[in-house]
């Protein structure tokens, strides 16, 4: 489970996060929506320990992200930008990451094989990743995030560079993982993706959580037909009334 309480992050006088609160329980998918630069990635980086918060609490399974060592291994992370080690093959990268996440050698090889076949990337696994397309790297990153079967998943724009077929595939995998009790935080600005998979949606704007609820609750509250309209409505309102 993931718990965020009054989380703040400042860079000098600029406040990137102004006190965010939310909770994600086991088996829940939480979609974090926001405009570009709203603070989604900053929040995710704090949660993964890549950034330190200015104040507030970010916890994974009850352990503070400030002490990153204790929570590593309890989450799988997929970053926003699919940049990977150019001079390693996909197989070498996954093997390295899996081994360092304490996955047994036999299990690791089988997992890499089966996931890469499912995501149709097995033909490229022995090629250096410098020649991969963004979509291919995105698939490698997804495999890396789930390879040790962590109880929590933090996915930053997981379907960004994928074609509709694989985007659909990833969405159904995310749902399947949640049905197995995984706690999933997903950031995206593609509203249909959030509408399809999320149990709960949080909209973040200028560092504040300006709306939160299930998709149906948000639609009802704003009188909108779909999540895209909800998002536009909420963000416009937040910008007019800061």
Partner 1 sequence: MTLWFILLMFGGFWLILSMIEFLAGLDELLLNPSQGNVLFSIFFFFVAKSSAETIEGVLRDKAQKYYFSTPLNSSSIFYSKLLRVWFYNLLLFGIAMSIVSFVVRIWDIKLPIDGRFLILLYILMFLAPLVGFNISVISHVKDRWLKKINLVVAGQMITLTAIILHSGLSFFHQVGYATLMLVSSLIIAVFLNATLYEEVWTNTSQNTESSTLHRRGLKLPNFISESTRLIAEVEFKRRWRRRQVPASIAVVIMMGIGLISIYSSLGPRPDLGLGLGKYFYPSLIAMTAFLAAVIHTLIPSLNLFSRDGVRLWCIRTLPSEMKKIASGKGLAIILTSPIIILMIALPLPLILDYPLSFVVFSAFSSSVFIFVMSGIGLWAAAKFPNFNESTKGSPDIITMYSMIMLAMMLSVMFLSVPFTLIEVDQILAILGVILAADLSALFMILMFKRSSIILENMELDF
Site residues, partner 1 (CB under 8 A): 42, 45, 48-52, 68-69, 72-73, 75, 77, 79, 81, 83-89, 92, 96-97, 99-102, 126-128, 130-131
In the bound complex, what is the minimum distance in angstroms from residue 37's beta carbon to partner 1? Answer: 13
Which is nearer to partner 1, 66 or 173 (by Cβ)? 66
User: Nearest 5°: CA angle at 150, between 204 and 4?
Assistant: 30
Which is nearer to partner 1, 65 or 209 (by Cβ)? 65
Which is nearer to partner 1, 9 or 206 (by Cβ)? 9
Contact call for residues 207 and 38 (beta carbons, < 8 A)? yes
In the bound complex, what is the minimum distance in angstroms from residue 101's beta carbon to partner 1? Answer: 6
Which is nearer to partner 1, 77 or 142 (by Cβ)? 77
- C-alpha–C-alpha distance, residues 179 and 211, integer Å: 25
**Six-digit token string for 142:** 């997804």
Which is nearer to partner 1, 126 or 239 (by Cβ)? 126
CA distances from 50 to 22, 41, 149, 165, 181 (A): 20, 11, 21, 32, 25
Which of these, 160, 194, 136, lies nearest to 80 by C-alpha position? 160
Please, what's the b/e burial string for 163-186 (b: 16 or more CB within 10 A of its CB; e: otherwise)? eeebbebbbebbeebbeeebbbbb
In the bound complex, what is the minimum distance in angstroms from residue 44's beta carbon to partner 1? Answer: 10
In the bound complex, what is the minimum distance in angstroms from residue 154's beta carbon to partner 1? Answer: 9
In the bound complex, what is the minimum distance in angstroms from residue 173's beta carbon to partner 1? Answer: 20
């Amino acid at each position: 489970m993931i718990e965020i309480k009054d989380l703040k992050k400042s860079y000098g006088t600029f406040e990137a996060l102004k006190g965010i609160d939310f909770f994600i329980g086991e088996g829940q998918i939480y979609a974090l929506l926001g405009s570009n630069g709203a603070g989604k990635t900053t929040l995710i980086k704090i949660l993964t320990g890549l950034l330190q918060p200015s104040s507030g609490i970010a916890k994974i399974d009850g352990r503070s992200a400030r002490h990153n060592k204790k929570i590593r291994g309890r989450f799988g992370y997929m970053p926003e930008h699919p940049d990977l080690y150019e001079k390693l093959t996909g197989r070498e990268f996954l093997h390295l990451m899996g081994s360092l996440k304490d996955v047994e050698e036999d299990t690791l090889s089988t997992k890499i094989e089966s996931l890469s076949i499912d995501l149709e990337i097995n033909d490229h696994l022995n090629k250096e990743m410098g020649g991969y397309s963004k979509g291919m790297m995105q698939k490698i990153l997804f495999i890396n995030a789930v390879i040790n079967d962590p109880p929590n998943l933090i996915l930053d724009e997981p379907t960004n560079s994928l074609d509709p077929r694989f985007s659909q595939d990833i969405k159904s995998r995310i749902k399947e993982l949640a049905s197995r009790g995984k706690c999933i935080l997903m950031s995206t600005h593609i509203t249909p993706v959030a509408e399809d998979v999320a149990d709960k949606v949080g909209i973040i704007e200028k560092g504040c959580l300006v709306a939160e609820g299930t998709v149906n609750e948000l639609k009802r509250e704003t009188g909108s037909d779909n999540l895209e309209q909800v998002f536009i409505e909420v963000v416009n309102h937040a910008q007019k009334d800061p």
